[in-house]
Amino acid sequence: MIAVGSDHGGYELKEAVKRLLMERGIPVEDLGTDNGNSVDYPDFGEKVARKVSSGEAEKGILACGTGIGMSIVANKFPGVRAALVADPYMAKMAKEHNNANILVLGGRVLDENEAREMVAAWLDTAFEGGRHQGRLDKIAVLEMELYK
Ligand code: RB5
């Protein structure tokens, strides 16, 4: 299951991403927002990041105007590796090297087709492991030290 969320700045893009996930037959949990009215991105970033951090959701996708606010919020949560990406190459690398479990997109930066390409690149790429796993292990050690 992929949990998705946005603020008003990412709402339209979230809806487009949902359509792509549904076309692919991927179960989606939409944690809001539900329209274009102004809301605060931390409230929705938190909902998705909690689901991923707890393991309730395998992955998440977040969108706000730029993606910056959502990535700041999501990366506070232990075990979350949220990647704000700007093109399909970054989306591919976010999985291949960083094993990002939350993809973050900017609704005021990307059009629907760009976002679909980026989500597809992230979903269709495998984590390479090896030396990259060692680097993720170092992040996990840091989290244990910082959040104990
Ligand atoms: C909302 O206006 C905007 O600040 C928000 O969507 C996001 O871009 C924050 O990083």
Q: What is the DSSP string of 10-38?
A: GHHHHHHHHHHHHHTT--EEE----SSS-
Q: Would you list the domain boundaries of the chain?
A: 2-146
| Residue 97 a catalytic site member | yes
Tokens of 51: 């689901």
Of residues 105, 87, 101, 89, the one with CA closest to residue 136:
101
Question: What is the per-residue pLDDT for 99?
Answer: 98
Atom 7 of ligand 1, nearest CA residue: 65
List, for residues 48-57, the tens digit of each pLDDT value.
Answer: 999 999 999 9
What is the CATH code for 2-146? 3.40.1400.10
Nearest residue by C-alpha to atom 9 in ligand 1: 69
How far is ligand 1, taken at its centre, from the CA of residue 68, in Å?
7
Mean pLDDT, residues 8-25 = 98
- pLDDT per residue over 76-107, tens digit each? 999 999 999 999 999 999 999 999 999 999 99
**pTM of this prediction exceeds 0.85:** yes
